[in-house]
Copies of this chain bind each other. A is one copy, B any other.
Amino acid sequence: MTEQTKVTTLEKVVVRFSGDSGDGMQLTGTIFSNLSAILGNEISTFPDFPAEIRAPQGSLSGVSGFQVHLGSKKIFTPGDKADVLVAMNPAALKVNVNYLKPLAIVVIDTDSFQKSDLDKAKFTTDDPFKELGLTNVQVIAAPISSMVKDGLAEFGLDNKSAVRCKNMFALGLVCWLFDRPLDEAMHMLQNKFAKKPTIAQANIKALTDGYNYGHNTHALVSTYRIESKKMAPGFYTDVNGNKATAYGLIAAAEKAGLKLFLGSYPITPATDILQELSARKDLGVKALQFEDEIAGICTSIGASFAGSLAATSTSGPGLALKSEAIGLAVIAEIPLVVVDVQRGGPSTGLPTKSEQTDLAQALYGRNGESPVVVIAASTPTDCFDAAFWAGKLALEHMTPVILLTDSFLANGSSAWKLPDMKDYPEIKPKYATEYKGDTPWKAYHRDPETLVRYWAVPGMEGFAHRIGGLEKDYDTSAISTDPHNHQKMVTTRQAKIDKIADYIPEVEVLGDKDADLLIVGWGGTFGHLCEAMETMHENGKKVALAHFKFISPLPKNTAEVLLKYKKVVVAEQNNGQFANYLRSKISGFNPYKFNRVKGQPFIVSRLVEEFTKLLEA
């Protein structure tokens, strides 16, 4: 399976449909495998009938299953363990308990998980998952039977015939999960029930309803990667990128001794950050939903002015709306973290898909010369560090920082070693009280070394001042339209950002020192690029990887690193935005480009293929 949607990181996938023998799992599985084949997948299937011909309904021995293994190539077996299990009743869950991959997706019909059903499958508690020790699976619990009944009301079927369509609801849901268009399945159903048009229509309706249910609820399915093979001793938890981002912001506020404020507006796939922080009232966080994205950032700008560590979270279209206000934060020189969880664009685009297409917007999407800091997280857990960095740089350098993550990181989860905040650096904003200049303090007086203006917060005695969006005089901080002053301020604002290069780590090169090819990446593609590099090492190729977390400003050693290798390829999920940015910054840098804009993570095997070709070119 080259491309699939909700189960994003896998190139091969095993799906198992399982239920009572009356539940029609064989038909379901057959249709699914057939339509996958039609879509060009290689498949291998394994129908698994119950041993007893007429086992009691709902019993363990009555479970019927159908397993499909599908992928883009080299599918030789029906697979060992399932990535996705459809369990129509508790018995189906129980018999498959040992055949699930970690974080497998389990779809259940809650209507068939009632007390009586659990009894039939010999469960003794009312929580079958707990009882089976199934703690690391992702459950999609849907009231399938009742939704099917509701959905088919218009057909006037008797109850039993209606409920019999529930397998098609389940199939619809799985089709949604794998982005399978329904047309072929409908076609097959029409053929199968050619003589019973009502039944055909009812099945088709149930199929569509199941698909829509998945579509409308998204059913919170995430992806899983093991980021590091060796686990250091310590306490761990599972965390996805959005949660890690939220925690990173909390950590930064803690280290700075400030309150955290988040002004936000829901938008896929960033909403979780707002939701997680809204729940963190225990930690004193003020995370609030406002009327739109502009209010989200503007309340944050207000909170920053009032002395909080202020952040706002959004995705692409929301970042576009925030453009004007980011410019205000730039000229007012106040600390602000703007988190953009990138999704497929342009416009509303593909809201649930992942891309890296907002980089140019983050760098340039404002009127005037309006430089900001841009950082990108590379893994779900790195979102924590990246968010911490964002808070630190914003506060210590009095600037907006745009933190780019993406849908893939946001929903992807990893085992995460709980950080000990003692290991993290202090965050020390420069307050106006530290000003030591000869002339009386003014709002835009700067620390000579960092060019950072001193921060005065309402309530501080002796530092009342006015700031705003109009250009200010370098010395007096009053409004100024003087041309020389404007040039000086434009230059200073840029220099302030450029100087941050002194306060961030250099970019590291992984892999071969004397590589024949340097892979350059940034942000959420780290895992795939790294895996590609490692695979190539196994194939005996000399390759290295320079993966960027700090984008504006670039680490100090960037030019040196990039110009050192004969062949360089910049790989990104857009049309070359980072490559273009690097070329505009580094004379003589003419890399190859590998670009995919499919709303999907890279496919490691394709990367290896392409990079190997480049090596040979």
A contact residues vs B (CB 8 Å cutoff)? 3, 5, 179, 181, 315-317, 319-321, 323-324, 327-328, 330-332, 342, 344-353, 355, 357-358, 360-361, 363-370, 468-471, 481-484, 486-487, 490-491, 493-494, 574-575, 577, 579-581, 583-584, 587-588, 590, 596-600
CB neighbours of A181 from chain B (8 A): 482
- What 6 pairs between A and B have smallest CB-CB spacing? A345-B368, A316-B367, A346-B368, A348-B469, A580-B584, A346-B370
Quick one: which of A574, A583, A587 has the most chain B CB within 10 A? A583
CB neighbours of A328 from chain B (8 A): 347-348
CB neighbours of A342 from chain B (8 A): 367
- B327 to A347, Cβ gap below 8 A? yes
Task: Check A327/B345 contact, CB under 8 A, given A367-B319, A483-B599.
Answer: yes
- A600 to B368, Cβ gap below 8 A? no
- A575 to B490, Cβ gap below 8 A? yes
- A486 to B324, Cβ gap below 8 A? no
Would you give 30 A-B contacts (Cβ < 8 Å), ordered by A?
A3-B483, A5-B483, A179-B481, A179-B482, A181-B482, A316-B367, A316-B368, A320-B323, A320-B365, A320-B367, A321-B323, A328-B348, A330-B346, A331-B347, A344-B471, A345-B366, A348-B469, A349-B367, A349-B368, A353-B486, A357-B368, A357-B369, A363-B364, A364-B365, A483-B599, A491-B597, A581-B584, A583-B584, A584-B584, A588-B590
Q: How far is the CB of A6 from chain B (nearest CB, A)?
A: 10
Task: Check A324/B320 contact, CB under 8 A, given A368-B349, A369-B574.
Answer: yes
- B360 to A347, Cβ gap below 8 A? no
Quick one: which of A3, A365, A494 has the most chain B CB within 10 A? A365
Distance of A74 Cα from B580 Cα, bound (Å)? 46
Distance of A599 Cα from B486 Cα, bound (Å)? 7
- B481 to A317, Cβ gap below 8 A? no
- A484 to B599, Cβ gap below 8 A? no
CB neighbours of A360 from chain B (8 A): 363-364
- B469 to A575, Cβ gap below 8 A? no
CB neighbours of A486 from chain B (8 A): 344, 350, 353, 597-599
Q: How far is the CB of A598 from chain B (nearest CB, A)?
A: 4
